[in-house]
Structure 1
Amino acid sequence: MAARPHFDRRAYLRMFEPKLFTVLREGYSLRTFKADAVAGLTVAIVALPLAMALAIASGTTPEKGLHTAIIAGFLISALGGSRVQIGGPTAAFIPVVFLVIQKYGYGGLILCTLLAGLMLIAAGLLRLGTLMKYMPQPVVTGFTAGIAVSIFSSQVKDMLGLSIDKLPAEFLPRWESFAAHIGTTRPAAVAMTVLGLAVVVGLRKWKPKWPGFLIALLACTLACAVFALPAETIGSRFGELPSALPGFDFPHIPFERTFELLPSSFTIAFLAGVESLLSAVVADGMTGGRHRSNGELVAQGVANVGSALFGGLPATGAIARTATNIRAGGSTPVAGMLHAGFLLLFMLALAPLMHYVPLAALAAVLLVVAWNMAEVENFRNTLSAPWGDRLVLLLTFFLTVFLDLTVAIQAGIVLAAFVFMYRMSEAVEVSSGVRDALGESGEDDLHGDDPARAADLDQRAMLPKGVEAYQIGGPLFFGAANRLDNLLDQFFEPPKALILRMRLVPVIDASGVHALKKLAGRCHRKGIVLIVSGLQEQPNRVIADMRLEEAPCELHFVSNFERAVRLAKTLVDKPAD
């Protein structure tokens, strides 16, 4: 019996060591600090308008977005498993956060964020970070594109300046409300949106290194002030922004509704985990580094708990801001920590000026974010994938837009699992004869130079009268085990012995063993001896562990096909009692 592997506590704890500690242990120079400071300032300039715009789009006030970028951004960099990850609020959270605030109030969102943080910490400690890479790409593409459509929908009111007291959370009622209030469109808001988009798109084309979002806000704010345009601003809707340090903000939390909020909490945790690890993978590709996925999940969890306690929003690693950090020269977690510090300084110093920023300019920023998030080319390419992938993509996309992000993710993953099972079941071959076992090849192929085909042809000719042989190719798991059910129905006259060749089965699970037991039982009832040959290591171990044992003249296990044929001949020639 194999010895139980020793639990290495040091190796386990090393998975959660912050990259900041690693950097400091390696040595941190003044030159590196200067580079990190420049990168942190650059990212803070990019993050400033985004944090406010994302908070407003989520149905809350702009300072909560800044608080999230400061608190969560600092914790993610200080405790995370990536050297260059930049954390904060992201567009992926907008639909679920808006819906939670609409239904349960801001206290409900605080509870959701706390629960999501605890889920992320638990996922990291249970070492589930490595499982995130198995997320089906059509699901990710589908809900990402659906979120982009939802973000666009959420910005129509501000980009047109519509007078709507309360915007519905659902997609179709929201557009019905837009249509009913289209007569209240403000030309000034449309002008600010067009100007903001023109500045961002123009700078990306001619000056891509310039902070396009911030320059767009400045241009729109100046235009609005100089021409005295009647456009709604941050100050006219939200009043003065607080120019003070973030403090504990613990509103009434509906703990009695915890069970109702669990699905939304799971969605927030899922989005935070997937986006942060995707961002870390992108960063690794740009820097040649390697992040600690489980440590990153723990840091994301701590950051979300911290953000909730300081009155913030859900947070995760931001791919665009992380890439900006790398391009600006950031190479250690200090850059991300400094980015949070610079944002705090901006908030304290510039809060009075943010009063004059037009909301339509922030809408223009988020329209660009939505377009980037949609990944139109990736969506179009996935529509050219096999039918199963297309179905998963479209189901996830439409459920995200028209129903609910939580339902979309769950349905997408379940459908992707069924598609995977179907494909695996199709990949498993249960065949007799050389032609069937090796594929739909022509007659000439059977007599070619392939030694494996020649060997199979010779082995087929070795079968004595009254013996049949079938070969299984591929993993025999719960999605494919039913392929054995109708095996005996193919015989016009049942053989005396059936050889089941399993040398091409690398993996078997409980359902596969159960199907094998069921086949052995049917063979026994029909008077057929079942001989299983060529078991690989994993199937042999699983079959032994599940106590599927040999029975004389009923079920036998042999090492190869030649021995199976000799045993079958002996059993067939054996006189009946």
Structure 2
Amino acid sequence: MKISFSSRFQGYNWKKLQKDLISGLIVGIVAIPLGMAFAIASGVKPEYGLYTTIVAGILISLFGGSKFQIGGPTGAFIPILFAIVMQYGYENLLIAGFMAGVILLFMGIFKLGAVIKFIPRPVTIGFTTGIAVTIFTGQIANFLGLRNLQKHQDLLSNMKELGIHISTINIYSILTALICLVLIILTPKLFRKIPGSLVGLLISTVVASIFYPDKIATIGSTYGAIPKSLPIIHFPALSIEHIQSLIKPAFVIAMLGGIESLLSAVVADGMSGTRHNSNRELIGQGIANMMTPLFGGIPATGAIARTATNIKNGAESPFSGVVHGIVVLLVLFLFAPYASNIPLASMAPILMVVAWNMSERKEFAHVLKTKTAESLVLLITFLLTVFTDLTTAVEVGLILSGIIFVKHMSKLLITAKVLPDPSDKNEKVSAHMVHEQHNCPQISIYTVEGALFFGVANTFEKSIMDEINYKPKVLILRMGNVPYMDTTGEANLSSIVKHFKKHGSTIIISEIQNQPRKMLQKTGLYEIIGQEHFFEKTGDAVCFALTKLNHSQCLGCKHFAFRECHQLSNPRVIVFEPDSIK
């Protein structure tokens, strides 16, 4: 895929550069506390979050498919990355992140960007809300200042740890966390342009440092001093064993990263009036996630809140995202030693607010109120995300959604026996015309409506095969309302054709659409039926069918299913043939 930069900077000038510089500066400041907080919550050192913000932020802006996308570590990744660190270790997390980057790159190259968008909304809301609950509950210990807790992958074990160690509660941690939380909430209301998370972090850190130093856990006391430079590039030690053991977590990282980045790009499109390139976005995400582990960074994706901040502050091009990464790099060089004094209790409210904002609680409640099968999918995905893991939740959610979809689609398939309605001006066929006294013994016409796929193919075949008992001379299938046919539907149709041909019957198909026609041509069934047995209009198909009748059987017949039947039943009777049958 050709990646062009010129179109994204067309008409770029000094005024637009100024806007990008301002927007990039603001977003960079917002990203600093978030980058460290996300890293800590993921079970790694805070500087790794800053490295991710710098490297991934710059590369996603340069190579991604959204003009205003801001990339970096996000809250959605926290439970996944924490579980990987717990199970495989930090070094293997880097390898899994690199592998996820490769997967994303190939997904973009093979144009699979649109496929990710097909994940049902109840599934995405369910696991997003579940992730929010996991993040929120994971910060209770730091908020309360609890000590000596053992970290677990599942929620219930972590909740049990909180109960066991509740006696170690630290009043200074609670005070620090409350100061930070109040400022995070109030700052945007009083000063819209100033990021509340940064204000809360700085002021609560200053208060703790001045009034009760050494009373609460800080980044420095827990993780050591933050280096004021990027680490030396280190290539992951990839091997066949690593690939085999880490392919599943890598795939989960890639899928979540793809989903989050494309959701963020859609939000950006809505806010800016632009249109992103989903495949290019995946390529950009792939490149960023391949490069970030070389600097010790964790997996990254598009960040919806930071992208929205970027647009709101007047960004004009992807250069604002590059500026945001450079700002974080400069802060790392100049102020890294001071970051060691940040209390962990100051980080907790930041992540709790992030969890609250990403919880999609309104959408969650809205889907639940519908009390449909989708509500059940939402609830099960949510509970599995909270109490098991994201992989299981998404797999089960998708399977349930697929079953529900097939069930709904199967109800939409209609296979009805029809005959022309003489009272209709155009003699359209209708099901109500078929009854015991009005049903041609030699010609059966069926209208088929709905997609003919694996979920309904057996029902379709059964309804038609019942006609074998009558052994009609001609079977007409009216397929104008069949928009899609898969190989299962084709196989069942083939079974019908072979059975009727075995009884010496003629199969005629009318009004068939392009996709089903091409499917029959690819499988060879088109030639078996015979090109001369395909008609654009049902009226022409009926006229052809009348030439295949056993006229001796028509003599004396009183069904009169067609206007021609009067003459066929009594050759002495002369009637005018209809203009058309639709």
Q: Secondary structure at the match of 2:549?
A: helix
Check the 8 A contact 1:484/1:519 in 2, yes or no: no
Check the 8 A contact 1:152/1:367 in 2, yes or no: yes
Tell me how far apart the structure 1 counterparts of residues 166 and 432 of structure 2 sit (CA, whole Å).
Answer: 78
Match of 2:170 among 186, 192, 210: 186
Match of 1:415 among 396, 400, 404: 400
Tell me how far apart the structure 1 counterparts of residues 318 and 23 of structure 2 sit (CA, whole Å).
Answer: 11
Tell me how far apart the structure 1 counterparts of residues 391 and 486 of structure 2 sit (CA, whole Å).
Answer: 30
Measured against aligned partners, the alpha-carbon deviations of 1:13-43 in whole angstroms (never above 9, x if no partner) come to 2xx334xx4344x243222111111111100
Tell me how far apart the structure 2 counterparts of residues 399 and 245 of structure 1 sit (CA, whole Å).
Answer: 38
Tell me how far apart the structure 2 counterparts of residues 40 and 249 of structure 1 sit (CA, whole Å).
Answer: 28
Tell me how far apart the structure 2 counterparts of residues 113 and 221 of structure 1 sit (CA, whole Å).
Answer: 32
In structure 1, what is the equivalent of residue 4 of structure 2?
17
Q: Check if 1:469 corresponds to 2:445.
A: yes
Tell me how far apart the structure 2 counterparts of residues 552 and 27 of structure 1 sit (CA, whole Å).
Answer: 60
In structure 2, what is the equivalent of residue 231 of structure 1?
216
| CA RMSD, Structure 1 to Structure 2 (Å) | 2.8
Measured against aligned partners, the alpha-carbon deviations of 1:526-550 in whole angstroms (never above 9, x if no partner) come to 5654432221222222212211146
Measured against aligned partners, the alpha-carbon deviations of 1:360-381 in whole angstroms (never above 9, x if no partner) come to 1101000000011111001111
Tell me how far apart the structure 2 counterparts of residues 388 and 517 of structure 1 sit (CA, whole Å).
Answer: 34
Give how far 1:468 is off.
2.8
Tell me how far apart the structure 1 counterparts of residues 422 and 156 of structure 2 sit (CA, whole Å).
Answer: 64
Measured against aligned partners, the alpha-carbon deviations of 1:372-424 in whole angstroms (never above 9, x if no partner) come to 11110011112234623222212221221111212222222232222222222
In structure 2, what is the equivalent of residue 398 of structure 1?
383
AA aligned opposite 1:301: G
Match of 2:333 among 348, 368, 386: 348
Tell me how far apart the structure 1 counterparts of residues 24 and 210 of structure 2 sit (CA, whole Å).
Answer: 32
Q: Secondary structure at the match of 2:357?
A: helix
Equivalent residues in 2 for 1:150-169, closer than 5 Å: 150-169=134-153
Tell me how far apart the structure 2 counterparts of residues 302 and 236 of structure 1 sit (CA, whole Å).
Answer: 35
Equivalent residues in 2 for 1:236-255, closer than 5 Å: 236-249=221-234
Check the 8 A contact 2:448/2:478 in 1, yes or no: yes
In structure 1, what is the equivalent of residue 569 of structure 2?
none
Give how far 1:348 is off.
1.5
Tell me how far apart the structure 2 counterparts of residues 301 and 390 of structure 1 sit (CA, whole Å).
Answer: 33
**Residues 552 and 409 of structure 1, relative CA distance in 2, 3 Å threshold:** closer
In structure 2, what is the equivalent of residue 30 of structure 1?
14
Match of 1:221 among 192, 196, 205: 205
Match of 1:113 among 91, 94, 97: 97
Tell me how far apart the structure 2 counterparts of residues 231 and 398 of structure 1 sit (CA, whole Å).
Answer: 34
Q: Secondary structure at the match of 2:139?
A: helix
| Percent identity of equivalent pairs | 39
Give how far 1:125 is off.
0.8
Check the 8 A contact 2:129/2:382 in 1, yes or no: yes
In structure 1, what is the equivalent of residue 42 of structure 2?
58
Q: Secondary structure at the match of 1:412?
A: helix
Check the 8 A contact 1:234/1:357 in 2, yes or no: yes
**Residues 268 and 492 of structure 1, relative CA distance in 2, 3 Å threshold:** closer
Check the 8 A contact 2:410/2:456 in 1, yes or no: yes
In structure 2, what is the equivalent of residue 480 of structure 1?
456
AA aligned opposite 1:98: F
**Residues 292 and 335 of structure 1, relative CA distance in 2, 3 Å threshold:** same
Equivalent residues in 2 for 1:423-438, closer than 5 Å: 423-433=408-418
Check the 8 A contact 1:110/1:253 in 2, yes or no: no
Check the 8 A contact 1:240/1:352 in 2, yes or no: yes
Tell me how far apart the structure 2 counterparts of residues 523 and 151 of structure 1 sit (CA, whole Å).
Answer: 62
Give the paired residue count: 548
In structure 2, what is the equivalent of residue 363 of structure 1?
348
Measured against aligned partners, the alpha-carbon deviations of 1:444-478 in whole angstroms (never above 9, x if no partner) come to xx999x978x6224995796344332211112122
Measured against aligned partners, the alpha-carbon deviations of 1:225-277 in whole angstroms (never above 9, x if no partner) come to 23216221111111211112333245766762321211110111111111111
Moved more, 353-362 or 253-262: 253-262
Measured against aligned partners, the alpha-carbon deviations of 1:310-347 in whole angstroms (never above 9, x if no partner) come to 00000111111011011111111111111111111111
Tell me how far apart the structure 2 counterparts of residues 432 and 278 of structure 1 sit (CA, whole Å).
Answer: 46
**Residues 285 and 551 of structure 1, relative CA distance in 2, 3 Å threshold:** closer
Tell me how far apart the structure 1 counterparts of residues 425 and 551 of structure 2 sit (CA, whole Å).
Answer: 34
Tell me how far apart the structure 1 counterparts of residues 307 and 128 of structure 2 sit (CA, whole Å).
Answer: 18
Tell me how far apart the structure 2 counterparts of residues 567 and 78 of structure 1 sit (CA, whole Å).
Answer: 63
**Residues 567 and 388 of structure 1, relative CA distance in 2, 3 Å threshold:** same
Tell me how far apart the structure 2 counterparts of residues 374 and 102 of structure 1 sit (CA, whole Å).
Answer: 24
Match of 2:83 among 99, 108, 116: 99
Check the 8 A contact 1:157/1:164 in 2, yes or no: no
Match of 1:89 among 73, 80, 96: 73
Instruction: Structure 2: give runs of 5+ residues left out of the alignment.
Output: 554-582
Moved more, 466-475 or 45-54: 466-475
Give how far 1:309 is off.
0.3
Give how far 1:572 is off.
3.5
In structure 1, what is the equivalent of residue 268 of structure 2?
283
In structure 1, what is the equivalent of residue 564 of structure 2?
none
Tell me how far apart the structure 2 counterparts of residues 425 and 492 of structure 1 sit (CA, whole Å).
Answer: 23
AA aligned opposite 2:341: Y
Measured against aligned partners, the alpha-carbon deviations of 1:92-149 in whole angstroms (never above 9, x if no partner) come to 1111110111111111101101100111111111111122222211111111111111
**Residues 243 and 468 of structure 1, relative CA distance in 2, 3 Å threshold:** same
Match of 1:122 among 79, 88, 106: 106
Check the 8 A contact 1:111/1:255 in 2, yes or no: no
Match of 2:486 among 509, 515, 519: 509
Check the 8 A contact 2:24/2:322 in 1, yes or no: yes
Q: Secondary structure at the match of 1:485?
A: helix
Q: Secondary structure at the match of 2:89?
A: helix
In structure 2, what is the equivalent of residue 560 of structure 1?
537
In structure 1, what is the equivalent of residue 305 of structure 2?
320
Match of 2:182 among 170, 187, 198: 198
Q: Secondary structure at the match of 2:448?
A: strand
In structure 2, what is the equivalent of residue 456 of structure 1?
429
Tell me how far apart the structure 1 counterparts of residues 145 and 492 of structure 2 sit (CA, whole Å).
Answer: 64
Moved more, 265-274 or 26-35: 26-35
Q: Check if 1:523 corresponds to 2:500.
A: yes
**Residues 365 and 460 of structure 1, relative CA distance in 2, 3 Å threshold:** same
Measured against aligned partners, the alpha-carbon deviations of 1:153-203 in whole angstroms (never above 9, x if no partner) come to 221211111113431112221111112112211122222222222211222
Tell me how far apart the structure 2 counterparts of residues 492 and 126 of structure 1 sit (CA, whole Å).
Answer: 47
AA aligned opposite 1:475: A
AA aligned opposite 1:456: V
Tell me how far apart the structure 2 counterparts of residues 423 and 572 of structure 1 sit (CA, whole Å).
Answer: 39
Give how far 1:46 is off.
0.6
AA aligned opposite 2:429: D
Give how far 1:53 is off.
0.3
